[in-house]
Structure 1
Amino acid sequence: MSENPAAAAKCFNFLVNIFIKHILGVESDHEGFYGKTSAYYATVEQQGRLSLHLHALVWVDGALSPQEIRDRIVNNDHIFETKLVEYLQARCQGEFMTGTFQTVFDKFGTSENTINNVREDPTLTLPAPPPVSCNNRHDCSVSDCENCQALRHWHMAFRETVDAILLKSNMHGCRSSFFGCMNKYGECTARFPRDVFPETVVDRTDGRIELRKREPMMNTFSTLLTYVLRCNLDVTCILTGTAVKALVAYITDYISKAGLNTHHVFKAAYDVLIK
């Protein structure tokens, strides 16, 4: 990016456009991963390292308001509660897919990762599409069905790839350097470690939901996005009106956000010249 920031910006724009079309389902022949997208709003931020990233809000068509969700949970609508938790956990999680941090680190914490006996860096490769599934994949009685075996093999590689990417890009490590996260009081400005919840907790007295999250140093994410984008993510389902207002204000603020401080500008220019 330091050698050709214009090419990096074009690549970023391409990725964002295919994300909106294929993942959110906008102007596409299918619904999005989170449901039918009724609206989206996103702003772009540049870091001091010249890389671009997106802050986005997505509205799902037909979604209930936070107050309506709260009312149905408080009124003991158990079917609704079960379906809602099932939906949220399928699209937002905060733990590895194949084991604990230590288990995943022991397997992928080296300079080279082995996924399905292939040594590769998953952040530098393209995702492999799933194989053609069996026509009776939900009720296949053929024990050696090649399609079903190929799909099981792909699912295993999918889970391992997601975990390898998470370990490499989604785990926070507090640093006290110039670009670190520790303030003068020894506190992490990125608010790590986060609270953990071994299992999803639903408080039926006030409708509050705490989704299962077992890794304190990891952002919540969507497995599909991690697999196809292969980078650090932070995906959160917003379940309170206060959080909605705060995030709208936070993201909108990037339109009028001031430029980098002078010393950051010179540091970025220095890095470019050195590279």
Structure 2
Amino acid sequence: MHRCGNAQGLPSKAPDERTEPCLVAFVGAGPGDPELITVKGRRRLGDADLVIYAGSLVPQDLLQMCKPGTTFMDSASMTLEETHDAIMNAVRRGLKVVRLHTGDPSLYGAVHEQMRLLDEAGVAYEVVPGVSAVFAAAAELRSQLTVPEVSQTLIVTRAAGKTPVPERESLERLAAHGATLAIYLSVHDIERVVRTLSAWYAAHTPVVVAYRVSWPDQILLRGTLDNIAEKVRHAGIRRHALILVGDVFQEVRPHVRSRLYDGSFAHGYRDARS
């Protein structure tokens, strides 16, 4: 059974076992490795008649998962209105559309405004989540983002730039928490990021700049707060990179363990052991 709905979570019709998939699906492509798309996302691609994708961010290998005769549109040069018109033209013809977004559609994309237009048009759609770069980077680094006694909070944010950030969410305010940080869309301004964080994090705090994580040309640039800006400049990284900050990224793992597998800790499935 599949429930087709809109951004308010309202089903387009009463769900039953015969409910068909929506004609429009927003699909998370993952960070780059074509094998990191979800099973559902791959299935939606295989069924699509039209795929609108971000050509500079979505690997071409993903398009090979589509059936013969599928129409492809690169959204890099398109406006919101143009992509919406293309979706609506296909829907009116009863065609299945996949709007393929890099990473996960919910994070630093433009899915909100597209869903709003579909809501206004009364067109039902679904969203298929994807693997975001922060999780792919943690996997490549063999790091855990939340380590007991080190950090139990992950803050996903970006530095203010062409797109403003609410003052209450400024990097200065978020840095005061001392939590693990995943900073998107900001590597071009690495010097300012470092200056801001240096007021709250020690100079030796580990920093990783993950460039095109999971792509064949990925770079995982390790450093510390006091030298990462120089390393980024030397590597010539200006875009397509994520900044990860925090003690959880130490190359020598801290000698800590969770309570979950501690024999002295009892929970609903295990008694405490001496």
When normalised by structure 2's length, the TM-score is 0.23
More strand by share: 2
> Which structure has more helix as a fraction of its residues?
1
TM-score normalised by length of structure 1? 0.23
| Structure of higher RCO (CA pairs closer than 8 Å, 6+ residues apart) | 1
